[in-house]
């Protein structure tokens, strides 16, 4: 699933359409909300594809803010802070195998995961020779859900370029 962002009255091709999958959109919009709350706060449903958005003036204001924040390092600092917070989150118990490292549900049994032979390296690390889970690579725990979401400065650059030429936008 992704967020398709359409320009209302694009003045250039770059302002007609902007897309990010959910893994990239959510942290990008969170960045906008955190760094520019007066502007991004005008969008009630920024994390859904319900057709909310900004008018041309506010889109231009957000583009200007993103450009300035890229130049002065606020975006890099926001990303670094977010990445550090995510990295500091504890691992989570795997819901697919209930933290055992061996998937034994119907799907796991059909895939032969409960009897899957492990590599020598896996066996040393996991302390067993058989049984695996595709959700956690047999470890029983995995990175928190937040680690699935990523944003980088180029996302802000592309979004700013879109905002400069979109004439307002809707998130669909």
**Chain segment 32-71, per-residue pLDDT in tens:** 999 999 999 999 999 999 999 999 999 999 999 999 999 9
Tell me which residue of 28, 6, 10, 29 sits closest to 18, measured CA to CA. Answer: 6
Q: What is the mean pLDDT of residues 137-157?
A: 93
In the block, tokens 């370029």 appear at 161
Q: What whole-number distance in Å separates Cα of residue 32 and Cα of residue 23?
A: 15
**Chain segment 65-124, per-residue pLDDT in tens:** 999 999 999 999 999 999 999 999 999 999 999 999 999 999 999 999 999 998 898 888
Q: Which two tokens stand for residue 110?
A: 């059909």
User: Residue 145, exposed/middle/buried by CB under 10 A (0-12, 13-18, 19+)?
Assistant: exposed
Chain-centre distance for alpha carbon 27: 5
- If one counts every other C-beta atom within 10 angstroms of the C-beta of residue 103, the result is 25
Q: What whole-number distance in Å separates Cα of residue 159 and Cα of residue 29?
A: 10
């Amino acid at each position: 699933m992704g967020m398709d962002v359409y320009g209302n009255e694009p003045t250039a091709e770059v302002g007609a359409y902007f897309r990010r999958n959910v893994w990239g959109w959510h942290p990008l919009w969170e960045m906008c909300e955190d760094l520019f709350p007066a502007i991004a706060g005008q969008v009630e449903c920024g994390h859904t594809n319900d057709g909310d958005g900004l008018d041309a003036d506010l889109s231009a204001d957000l583009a200007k803010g993103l450009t300035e924040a890229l130049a002065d390092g606020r975006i890099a600092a926001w990303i670094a802070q977010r990445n550090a917070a995510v990295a500091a989150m504890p691992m989570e118990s795997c819901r697919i195998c209930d933290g055992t490292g061996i998937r034994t549900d119907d799907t796991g049994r059909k895939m032969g995961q409960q009897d899957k032979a492990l590599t020598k390296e896996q066996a040393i690390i996991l302390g067993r020779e058989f049984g695996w889970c595709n959700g956690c690579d047999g470890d029983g725990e995995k990175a928190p859900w937040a680690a699935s979401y990523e944003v980088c400065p180029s996302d802000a650059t592309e979004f700013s370029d879109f905002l400069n030429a979109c004439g307002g936008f809707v998130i669909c």
